[in-house]
Every structure is written in C-alpha cells, then in structure tokens.
Amino acid sequence: MKFALLPAAFLPLTLAGVFAWFAPRAEDPQRPAPRVGTGAHTYDWQRGWFKLPAGVELGNTHGNIAFDAAGRVYVNSDNDSAVMLFGPDGNFVGSLGKELGGGAHGMCVAKEGGTEVLWLAHARRHEVIKCTLDGEVKLTIPWPEASKRYANADEYVPTAVAIGPAGQVFVADGYGRSWVHEFDARGAYVKTFGGPGKQPGQFVCPHGLGVDERGKEPLLVVCDRENNRLQRFDMQGRLFDVIGGDLRRPCTVQQRGDDLLVADLAGRVTILGKDNQVIAHLCDQPDPNKRAQNGIPREQWMEGEFISPHCARWDAKGNLYVMDWLQQGRLTRLERVASR
C-alpha cells in the first residue's frame, strides 16, 4: 500500500499530523527515509541500497550476512546459489556456490594467516563447508557421528558456524537436536556440549553463534532462540553466564566494541551494552501478528519497521545490515549517523 504525499498546506498542524509525517510508512520516494535509534545508535534507513540487476531476485532470505576486508557484503538466500555478493556501494557483484544453492543458513568470514576464507553452515546438506572467497570448496565437515548424539546425518541440521581465536570451529545444530559441537581447524571432531532443555547450559534451538572478546578471555555466545536468551561459554564449552531479560527469539549475535547486536526474530533488532543490559530496540514491529512471519507481502512492508529479523550485522564502520526472514526477500542497510 502506498501513501500519497499531501501538500504541506493540507497537513493539519496537530500532533497527529506531525506523527503522520514521521511514522513508519511504505516506501515513497517523495518523502525522506526515516531516521531510527538514539544517541550513539542513531541510523538513517537506506532506501534501495542493495541493487539487483533486472531478472535477479533475492529469494527467501533465510540465512546470514558477512563482510570481507574489502567491504564486500556476502548474503545467504534460498535461491540457486549459496551466496550473493554485493560491493561496498551496494551493487550486485555476482553469486557463489551454484552447487551449494538452497540451505546455506549460517556464514562467517574468518582469517587463516593472511588469507580470508568463507565458512558456511548448510542445513540441507547437514554439513559445514569452508571455501575461498571465490567459492572454491577447501574443506567439508560432515555430521558429528563421533558425538554419538545422532542416529544419522538427517538429524543434524546446522544453522551457525563461528571460528574461535585459536581456529576452533564451533557449529550450532539449531534446527536439529540442539547441541553445539567443536571441531579443530582441520575438521576433526573435538567435543559436544549443550543439548535440549531449559536449564542453564541447555538449549532449545541454538540458532546463532558469536565470539565475545570484551572480557579478559574470549567467550562463545549462543543464541538460545526458543528459550529467549543468550548463553555464554568459555572456549572449553563451560557455561559462563546466561543473559535473559528483554529478548525475543534471538537469531544472531555480534560483538563490536562494548556492545552486542542481536537479531530478535519477533520484529526488532536489540543492542546490549557492556553490562549486557538493553540500550536500544530498533525498528520494533508494532503489529504482533506480523512478527516472525515469513509470508508478509511486500506491500505491507513499512520503512522503519522490521518484520522477522533473521540476521543483523555491523560492518567495520558501524553501519547496520539486517536480513528479514521473508519469502520475497528483504535486506536493509541502516547508515550510522553517530560516530564513536
């Protein structure tokens, strides 16, 4: 649905009129895109930043976002390729992984010496894959049969991969049996922790992973989505703490400086400060019936509102990129206004 622009003379000079001007709205090129957030986390909603050529569609955006050192943006989508690639200006560069299309769900870029590599958690193939930034597969880590938690590979449905400071490969079995597994840099099985449940140290859908380096020792952060919390573990898999409170189905987590960025699937992006308390909820979806819904049609998408944030990532400059889990595919870039 489009909202027509009224001449200024016809806009009532009332609080309702002012609210109507600044309220979230469907995209209208005659009106400025909204500014969201506050203080150090103030952003301008960037209309049409991701540019696709004619005939190319995002497909169902049910994956992750990552960046390389050159500022290129890597995006998973359930289309014919595992990864879609955009330049630092938002222009479409190309696709990677034709043979891996459909089901690349988690992703990160990591350094091995002076070389960057791309890691993929592939839900449909039940494996984790390391490849070059050009898409050449270098390593495949199959289902963790040695863990003795699975009868077969089909029970293992990885949703996230994170690389520890010593090259450890952590994999979250978010859509499978709710375990987190560690492999070494060569792909050999090391250990398993977590498992299904609601007690501290257990998970119900450990959907996303991140490494938190704010403290004296690095910690692995697990998005325990259906328990509505984050849990942090040391590099040996021992529980460090549980971060609950005002979180809605956290899907991904990223640390930058003193802050943690969380994609809350149920309609918003949350930022936690150095004490792990909420300092911002961004672009909260006001309609509970639209939160965490995949089938909301494009004409109901409103600027300044998210629907189903499946991934949120800061780039090196603190600009924010959000993937909504939507069948028609939605990516949003928010340019950071405040500098730190």
| pLDDT at res. 19 | 38
Cα–Cα separations (whole angstroms), residue 98 to 60, 77, 119, 122, 304: 16, 12, 15, 13, 34
| pLDDT at res. 162 | 98
| pLDDT at res. 25 | 62
| pLDDT at res. 22 | 45
Residue 19 burial by Cβ neighbours in a 10 Å radius (0-12, 13-18, 19+): exposed
Compute the distance between CA of residue 69 and CA of residue 57 in angstroms, rounded to an integer.
26
Within 8 A by CB and 6+ apart from 206, the residues are 159, 160, 172, 173, 174, 178, 179, 180, 194, 222, 223, 224, 225
Rg over CA atoms, the chain: 20
Q: What is the 3-state secondary structure (H, E, C) of 171-221?
A: EECCCCCCEEEEECCCCCEEEEEECECCCCCCECCEEEEEEECCCCCCEEE
**Best CA proximity match to 176, nearest among 203, 209, 198, 139:** 203
- List own/partner pairs for 12-18 with CB under 8 A and 24 or more apart: none
| pLDDT at res. 339 | 56
**169 alpha carbon, distance to own chain's centre:** 18
For 90-103, the DSSP string reads SBEEEEE-GGG-S-
Domain boundaries, given as residue ranges, for the chain: 32-336
Is 0.75 surpassed by the pTM of this model? Answer: yes
pLDDT 10s digits, 54-109: 999 999 999 999 999 999 999 998 888 899 999 999 999 999 988 898 899 999 99
Along the chain (340 residues), what's the average pLDDT of each consecutive run of 10 residues? 34 38 61 92 96 93 97 93 96 92 94 95 97 96 98 98 97 98 98 98 98 97 98 98 95 98 98 96 98 97 98 97 97 85
Q: Which CATH number applies to 32-336: 2.120.10.30, 3.30.365.10, 3.40.50.360, 2.60.40.10?
A: 2.120.10.30
pLDDT 10s digits, 223-263: 999 999 999 999 999 999 999 989 999 999 999 999 999 99
| pLDDT at res. 7 | 36
CA atoms in the 13 A half-sphere facing the CB of 206: 35
Within 8 A by CB and 6+ apart from 191, the residues are 181, 182, 237
